[in-house]
Amino acid sequence: MELNELLEDGRAAPKSGGALCIEGGVPLRGELRVQGAKNSILPLLAASVLCGGESVFHNCPELSDVAVTVRILRYLGCACQRHGKTLVVRSGALDRADIPDRMMHQMRSSIVFLGAILAKCGEASLSFPGGCEIGQRPIDLHLSSLRKLGVQIREEHGCLFCRAPHGVTGGFVSLSFPSVGATENLLLAASTGRGTTVIANAAREPEIADLACFLNRCGAHIYGAGESCVIVEGVPRLSGSEFTVMPDRIAAATYMAAAAVTGGTVLLRGVNAGHLMPVLSAFEETGCRVLQSGAELLLSAPERLGPVRHVRTMPYPGFPTDAQAPIMAMAAVGNGTSIFVENIFECRYQHAAELNRLGAKIRVEGKVAVVEGVPKLSGAPVTAADLRGGAALAVAGLCAEGETMLLHPKYIDRGYEHFERNLRSLGARIVRV
Ligand code: UD1
């Protein structure tokens, strides 16, 4: 069946698996409300384990990673119910303090349950999350910093056995790298710990501030989240609360890139432009006009994009590694040469070879990628190997001449809610087959 027929047939409903079939060349126009942040809701849901009673999360995105997290919550003994964009979690005493291997392997970020389960039960056993599509992802910082809070940890046959028989104690932790996950685990573990914990060189990502804001609403005493020194005064208990998840800054950047490569104009609603500063500068460098008013961002692209010159990924407030791939798709059709330096993950250029299949000219050497912009890409079969790389391939497909068949869209479903439906609402010709 041709793309045209599929679009008319209404068989474009989002489904997992299959492939995304994209016919490029349509300038995207229209407006879109940006989803709640994946990287915020996952730790928030882990936090709900710690809080007795009911936690209500509004603006909760429908993602496969959220579905995996809900399965973990239910396994632990929490009741979860979704009503549209609101997810309600009821938690009491947990049934168990472990997460089975099969669940840990479905989502590496399930390691954020470690701090929450430990704080709640005084023990936790989880399998080691191991590496993933974007490289080795050690958890040494999570473990060494939890040990500083009095947690005993045994690593055996790929499993972690953690105990804090007398509860988590306060302490001073200085992270050698501002790891997002390690900072989140520390906040969770220390919130109901005994005494005060000081986290130096904490991650400053807005999702950290979102987590702390929720925990404080539940009764925690966390000061300075979002800055590099965070202080947590342990409280005896937390009780569930109502919370609206922050907007997803990476989804916003991805839809902006999609509009930019097609020479389109989009209005994004429900964004926090303050979270997107280095990314907005990259768009402006390519000649896009970006106007911000309150929670709205308007992007209009020139006929031909310029290059982005230098993108160096850094911990927040630097350029986010998660936006590297979508911005590279944009640089691929920029009029000039752009240089990328990936400083956060060791193996985060898998999309470069696939972009080259579409006609891009990208050379990768170690952590550096040199992108020589070409006037046009052309459709081809490509394969997603990770979440953001997959989204970047879709962005490229939207401006490529002819048809792009994108395999393994399941990676995209991990982090983008109604991806192709959203793009279609802007005029894109994209269906799941
Ligand atoms: C989170 C985000 C991810 C984002 C990343 C960096 C979630 C669910 N995921 O991942 O989308 O790309 O932040 O902004 O929020 N490291 C160690 N030892 C550790 C922990 C981390 O060496 O114990 C290294 C990692 O291998 C990586 C770097 O530190 O090279 C950054 O990792 P981290 O900030 O922890 O990212 P995540 O929390 O895994």
What are the tens digits of pLDDT across the range 173-198? 999 999 999 999 999 999 999 999 99
- Fold classified for 3-34+247-432: UDP-n-acetylglucosamine1-carboxyvinyl-transferase; Chain (3.65.10)
Mean pLDDT confidence for 311-337:
98
CA of 169 to the centre of ligand 1 (A): 25
**Which residue among 145, 207, 245, 344 has the greatest number of ligand 1 atoms within 8 angstroms of its CB, and so is best to mutate?**
344
Which ligand 1 atom lies nearest to the CA of residue 138? Answer: 18
Query: For the chain, what is the mean pLDDT?
Result: 94
Residues of the chain with CATH 3.65.10.10: 3-34+247-432, 38-244
Q: What is the pTM of this model?
A: 0.95
Phi, psi dihedrals of residue 126, rounded to the nearest 5°:
-135, 150
Question: What CATH architecture applies to the domain 38-244?
Answer: Alpha-beta prism (3.65)
**Which residue among 110, 180, 184, 249 has the greatest number of ligand 1 atoms within 8 angstroms of its CB, and so is best to mutate?**
180
Which ligand 1 atom lies nearest to the CA of residue 135? Answer: 26
CA of 375 to the centre of ligand 1 (A): 35
Residue 365 burial (C-beta neighbours within 10 Å; 0-12, 13-18, 19+) = exposed
CA of 187 to the centre of ligand 1 (A): 15
Mean pLDDT confidence for 271-290:
97
Sheet holding 429-432, edge to edge: 381-383, 403-407, 19-23, 429-432
Mean pLDDT confidence for 299-327:
97
DSSP 114-147: HHHHHHHHSEEEEE----BTTB----HHHHHHHH
Q: What is the pLDDT of residues 91-138, one digit of tens each?
A: 988 989 999 988 988 888 899 999 999 999 999 999 887 556 776 778
Annotation says 132 is catalytic? yes
Ligand 1, atom 7: nearest CA belongs to which residue? 39
Quick one: pLDDT at residue 203? 98
Q: Which of 351, 347, 313, 348 is nearest to 329 (CA)?
A: 351
Give residue ranges with CB within 6 A of ligand 1.
Answer: 39, 42, 109, 137-142, 177, 179-182, 203, 207, 321-322, 344-345
The two structure tokens encoding residue 192: 């109901």
